[in-house]
Structure 1
Amino acid sequence: MTEIRHIVFDIGRVLIHYDPNLPFSRLIPDAEQRKWFFDNVCTHDWNIEQDRGRTWEEAEALLITEHPDHAENIRNFRRLWHEMVPHAYDDSVQIMDKLIESGHDVTMLTNFATDTLAEARQRFDFLNRPRGVTISGEIGMIKPERGIYDHHVAVFGLEPAATLFIDDSQKNVDGAKAAGWQSVLFTDAKTLEADLKRYDVAF
């Protein structure tokens, strides 16, 4: 096994909590109606395009044309985004901090819209501690596309085989492995600690 010299964190659901249901459980109290809204209006596929760089104005206009009766809640998706990210995972953040303090090279690679990540970095200062971050919304590529991993390697001078990527999505983990990285699926901090020990990463 190649010695790990670079550690790359995902952000959402690894370092900070993310759940669109938090504000929308108040806005659309009926669970079936809320599920319909997320399945048919503000869908995952619609939201991921903002992570690829589409502006919220363009995204909202597109949906409001298709679903004019839901215009207010379409706008609420961005307007109430701060409620979707209520807190950090302190135990995960502690691991990241210890890795940095121990001298490990830590960066971040995330599917995120540029404006919402800027907001998150103001609220959660620990997101400014790693050496840097690749933001999908800035470069027009999203995980698990091969190009975003290669971009991160080139920008931060990483050796893929010596890089360990931590992400909560199996597709993104598989994408990292296809790009020649080592990668683990994040489920909780305790499991991450065990994974780091398995890769002989001391902190």
Structure 2
Amino acid sequence: MPIEAVIFDIGRVLIDWQPEAFYDRMIGPERRRALFSEVDLEGMNLSVDLGADLSEAVAGMAARHPDWAAEIRLWESHWLEMASPAIPASVRILTALKSRGVPVFALTNFGVPTFEIARAAYPFFDLFDRAYVSGRLGVIKPNPAIYEIVERDSGIAPGALIFTDDRPENIAAAKARGWQTHLFDGAPGWAARLVAEGVLDETERTAHA
């Protein structure tokens, strides 16, 4: 079945996402390990991805862990530093697809306020024809419901969608619904797969990946 839309995850596909590396720089690896052991920052971030307010989530976590309050507040005040830089080769692929007139979607676990922060910092976010953002939808990957939302909203058959994500469980959930999938491990492999599917040509693969 020909591909009718190309779907990108965002974190670690189009922009980097390395909270641990950020905290290593800010407070050192030893204190970072202690922080991540004692404070469920991942759970806090997950709540934002599900639609919680970032400021409220950070304030609540800081209140529950006063010894780490200053470090926890960095999650909000320095969020963009954790979600950077852009991955240029992936952005070039997105741009090439858009230039060819191929529909491009985002399917991402992302909070509403953080998505807007990133959108302001990264103009290529506006290239997406549709952006399926977990914080807006109230459901996250790999819950099958979020993939169903994409299918229903786009009206595109599962087999005509191709999706890349860096997390195997998210890929497995899409594949279970009949999507074409690619586990992202770098832009060159993703570009090669798109060439194989006929949505990029070899010249574009060489130029953009």
Q: Structure 1 length as normaliser, TM-score?
A: 0.92
Partner residue, 1:19: 18
Instruction: Give the superposition deviation at 1:148.
Output: 0.6
User: Pick from 158, 170, 179: which aligns with 1:172?
Assistant: 170
Partner residue, 1:201: 199
Partner residue, 2:8: 9
Q: Deviations over 1:139-198 (max 9, x none)?
A: 110000001111112222221111000111111111111222111111111111122123
Match status 1:181 vs 2:179: yes
User: Pick from 62, 72, 84: which aligns with 1:64?
Assistant: 62
Instruction: Give the superposition deviation at 1:201.
Output: 2.6
SS class of match (1:64)? helix
- Structure 2 gap segments, 5+ residues each: 202-209
Mapped partners of 1:84, 1:9: distance in 2:
19
Mapped partners of 2:97, 2:131: distance in 1:
16
SS class of match (1:200)? coil
Structure with greater helix percent: 2
Matches within 5 A, 1:108-127: 108-127=106-125
Check whether the contact 1:51–1:137 (CA below 8 A) recurs between aligned residues: yes
AA paired with 2:19? P
AA paired with 1:120? A
AA paired with 2:178? G
Check whether the contact 2:54–2:113 (CA below 8 A) recurs between aligned residues: no
Mapped partners of 2:55, 2:89: distance in 1:
36
Instruction: Give the superposition deviation at 1:109.
Output: 0.7
Matches within 5 A, 1:30-109: 31-109=29-107
SS class of match (1:184)? strand
Instruction: Give the superposition deviation at 1:42.
Output: 4.0
Mapped partners of 1:75, 1:135: distance in 2:
24
% identity of equivalent residues: 36
Check whether the contact 1:23–1:80 (CA below 8 A) recurs between aligned residues: no
Instruction: Give the superposition deviation at 1:67.
Output: 1.4
Mapped partners of 2:25, 2:93: distance in 1:
34
Check whether the contact 1:22–1:83 (CA below 8 A) recurs between aligned residues: no
Q: Structure 2 length as normaliser, TM-score?
A: 0.90
Mapped partners of 2:90, 2:54: distance in 1:
30
* Runs of 4+ residues over 3 Å off in structure 1: none
Mapped partners of 2:187, 2:82: distance in 1:
21
